[in-house]
Structure 1
Amino acid sequence: MDFSLQQIWEHTGLFARFIIFTLGFMSMSSLIVIAERMVVFRKTRSDSRNFASKMGAILAKGDLSTAANTNLGKDVGHLGRVINSGLTAYRISPNDKDVAVESVARALERQAQREVQSMKRGLGVLATVGSTAPFVGLLGTTMGIVNAFQEMAKSGAGGLATISAGIAEALITTAFGLLVAIPAVMAYNFLQGWVDARSVDISESSNEFLDVVARNLTGGETRSQQQAG
């Protein structure tokens, strides 16, 4: 037997082909998730940077009223959606400073959790493929070896030549399982690290925005007390 991929495929049994098709489906699923997440992450990072450059200039002046009434469109990225939720909470918050700050903080936290959860979408597929693909390939290998020894028992002949075709068929499924799992694991680690980094960015930006809100409300209270005095 010629141990080429074509020859091995021609000698594979029904169960081994089922395993290979299953691994092929898992591979396609992981590739689709990787491509989709890369496109989404690239866009949301670009939109967030544009939002930060425009809104940052307004917030640097401490003009929350102007910031709350500024519409920068829908494409503001993960950072823009978080800050906009805080601006919305600030706009409808009562005059009491403590209540207003607490309301804005809760709004920022809720939206931040939504954004992080949204960015993690599809990563579970990569984790599942990365952890199960080697075992799916190993299942094909185990059954292939069992079939090889069954053929040897039926023929009544021993030796490596008798079972070499079955062993090659069995091992190819393990190799295919590893080829599917390795890229999935690498992509999962990379994308999860990206999400963790953006989560830190969101947390820092939320805290900075909350500081601006607190200073603005404190300044407003001070001016009101001076006018009343």
Structure 2
Amino acid sequence: MSLSLLSTFLTTVALASPYQRAGNGVSDMIRHAGPMVKLVLLLLLVMSLACWGIALVKWRLFRRAEKQSEEFYELYRQKKNFAHLYRESQLLDESYLAQVFRTGYVEWGRLSKALEAGNPTEGALNGVEDALETVERTMEGAMLLERRRLERFLPLLATTGNTAPFIGLFGTVWGIMTSFQEIGLKGAANLAVVAPGISEALVATAVGLAAAIPAVIFYNHFINKVQSIDGQMRYFASDFYSLMKREWMRRSSHGVRVAAAEASSAVRTGITSG
């Protein structure tokens, strides 16, 4: 990464030099800075660029995910049958609500077949209540995976926000130490000797703050987004769970009525035969 790119970045965050001399711009401060200060500035630049890149990628990801989830929820509210909704949801691969639905629906279908086939012991299944609990746990797992997907790389924003000011401060302290060493070697302590080195060192603190402040803003913004999405997923999972429970109860009551009718018919047949 060239020094020209670093200089361009620093022009937006560095303060004007308090002393007057020819070539007192940011690029001159960087050229006169020591190797350690330059290394610190380069590290801060890399961290800042990474944070801006992550912010851009996350902004696009959240935008697509929220848009597709809104589309899916509109389909869900139309009360179409689940099979049709499942087919349409496969086109919304970025939707977190669609992913929770698909996971729950697939598990619900598998367990429904097991119950209807008279094999309730499949997968430690002991009836409708256990089946519902299994589907609920499956959707909880899907929500956890979606949250992890949305939170990916966000810790780097938090790390930059927490450490960048201290990294910049380290560069400043190192630069000031170097300046005092030069004062000792030259045997002069006037402002013209001290000011240039201190100003160059303070650039590191300014850059550290410039890298940290946006990172903290981005992190808080996206974490709030994740928490809001988590609430949406939990609300949807609860509503879908209620629908599945009502459907299973309806099927169970229908099965009881059919069994009762068959039993009554058998009793009448037996009486007639007698």
- Answer yes or no: same fold by TM over 0.5: yes
CA-CA distance at 1:64 after TM superposition: 4.2
What does residue 206 of structure 1 align with? 237
Does residue 168 (structure 1) correspond to residue 186 (structure 2)? The answer is no
Work out which of the residue numbers 23, 28, 31 in structure 2 matches 1:10: 31
What is the aligned length? 225
Work out which of the residue numbers 71, 84, 89 in structure 2 matches 1:72: 89
> Is the alpha carbon distance of 1:168 and 1:55 closer, same or farther for their aligned partners in structure 2, counting shifts above 3 Å?
same
Residue identity over aligned pairs, in percent, reads: 27
CA-CA distance at 1:66 after TM superposition: 5.1
Q: Distance in 2 between matches of 1:75 and 1:200?
A: 20
CA-CA distance at 1:121 after TM superposition: 0.4
The 5-angstrom pairing of residues 129-168 of structure 1 reads 129-168=160-199
Q: Distance in 2 between matches of 1:204 and 1:74?
A: 22
Deviates more, 1:2-11 or 1:200-209: 2-11
Q: Distance in 2 between matches of 1:58 and 1:185?
A: 42
Q: Distance in 2 between matches of 1:54 and 1:27?
A: 41
Does residue 31 (structure 1) correspond to residue 52 (structure 2)? The answer is yes
Give the 3-state SS of the residue equivalent to 1:52 in structure 2.
Answer: helix
- State TM-score, norm by structure 2: 0.78
Q: Structure 1 or 2: larger helix share?
A: 1
Q: Distance in 1 between matches of 2:228 and 2:157?
A: 19
Deviates more, 1:95-104 or 1:201-210: 95-104
What does residue 102 of structure 2 align with? 84
Q: How much is the aligned-residue C-alpha RMSD, in angstroms? A: 1.5
Does residue 127 (structure 1) correspond to residue 158 (structure 2)? The answer is yes
What does residue 51 of structure 1 align with? 72
Does residue 184 (structure 1) correspond to residue 215 (structure 2)? The answer is yes
CA-CA distance at 1:39 after TM superposition: 0.6
CA-CA distance at 1:55 after TM superposition: 2.6
Unpaired runs of 5+ residues, structure 2, are 1-20, 116-126, 261-274
Structure 1 stretches of at least 4 aligned residues deviating more than 3 Å after TM superposition: 63-68
- State TM-score, norm by structure 1: 0.93
Unpaired runs of 5+ residues, structure 1, are none
Answer yes or no: is the 8 Å Cα contact 2:89–2:102 preserved in 1. Answer: no
